[in-house]
Amino acid sequence: MATILGCIADDFTGATDLAGLLARSGHPISLRIGVPDQPPNEAPGDTPQDAAAFEVIALKSRTAPVADAVAESRRALAWLRAAGAQQVFWKYCSTFDSTPEGNIGPVAEALMADLGTAQTIYCPAFPENGRAVFMGNLFVGQHPLAESPMKDHPLTPMRDSNLMRLLAPQVTGTVGLVDRLTVAEGPDAVRAALAEHAANKVAHVVVDAVAEADLHTIAAACHTMPLLTGGSALAMPLPALLAADPPAPQARTHAIEDAAMILSGSCSAMTRAQVGHYAALGPSRLLDPVALARDGVQCARDWLAAQAPTSAPMLYTSAEPADVQAAQAALGPDRAAQIVEDALARLALAGRDMGLRRIIVAGGEISGAVTHALGVTRLDIGTEIAPGVPWTFCTSGGHAMALALKSGNFGAETFFSDALTHLREAT
Burial 272-300 (b: 16+ CB within 10 A, else e): bbbbeebeeebbbebbebeebbeeebeeb
DSSP assignment of 192-258, as one string? HHHHHHHHTTEEEEEE-B-SHHHHHHHHHHHTTSSEEEE-HHHHTTHHHHH-SSPPPP--------S
Query: b vs e for 115-150, b when ≥16 Cβ sit within 10 Å of the residue's Cβ?
Result: beeebbbbbbbbbbbebbbeebbbbbeeebbbebbb
Q: What gap in Å lies between CA 352 and CA 251, rounded to an integer?
A: 27
Cα distance between residue 152 and residue 46, in whole Å:
41
Q: Is 152 exposed, middle or buried (CB count within 10 Å of its CB: 0-12, 13-18, 19+)? A: middle
Angle at 232 (CA atoms; ends 274, 386), nearest 5 degrees: 35
The 10s digit of each residue's pLDDT in 328-367 is 999 999 899 999 999 999 999 999 999 999 999 999 889 9
CA separation for the pair 102, 171 (Å, rounded): 8
Task: Report helix angle 364-374 to 12-23, nearest 10.
Answer: 90
- The letter for the amino acid at 152 is D
Strand 399-406 and strand 389-396: pairing?
antiparallel
Contact 63, 365 (CB under 8 A): yes
Question: Using alpha carbons only, how large is the chain's radius of gyration in Å?
Answer: 21
CA–CA gap between residue 266 and residue 416 (Å, rounded): 13
Stated as kind and residue range, the H or E segment containing 18 is helix 12-23
* Whether 390 contacts 16, CB under 8 Å: yes
Question: What structural domains does the chain harbor?
Answer: 5-242 (3.40.50.10840), 260-426 (3.40.980.20)
pLDDT digits (tens, 9 = 90+) for 209-248: 999 999 999 999 999 999 999 999 999 999 999 987 777 6
For residues 356 and 261, give the distance between their C-alpha atoms in angstroms, rounded to a whole number.
6
- pTM value is 0.82
> Per-residue pLDDT for 251 more than 60?
no
The β-bridge partners of 284 are 314
According to DSSP, residue 168 is labeled G
Do the beta carbons of residue 374 and residue 396 sit within 8 Å?
Answer: yes
State pLDDT tens for residues 76-132: 999 999 999 989 999 999 999 888 889 999 999 999 999 999 999 999 999 999 999
Q: What is the pLDDT of residue 256?
A: 87
Mean pLDDT of the 165-191 span = 98
Q: What is the pLDDT of residue 149?
A: 85
Contact residues for 278 (Cβ-Cβ < 8 A; gap 6+): 262, 284, 314, 416, 417
318 Cα distance to chain centroid: 18
Interval 291-317 mean pLDDT: 96
In this predicted structure, what is the pLDDT of residue 427?
59
Q: Name the β-bridge partners of 91.
A: 9, 230
Task: Enumerate residues 6+ apart whose C-beta is below 8 A from 306.
Answer: none
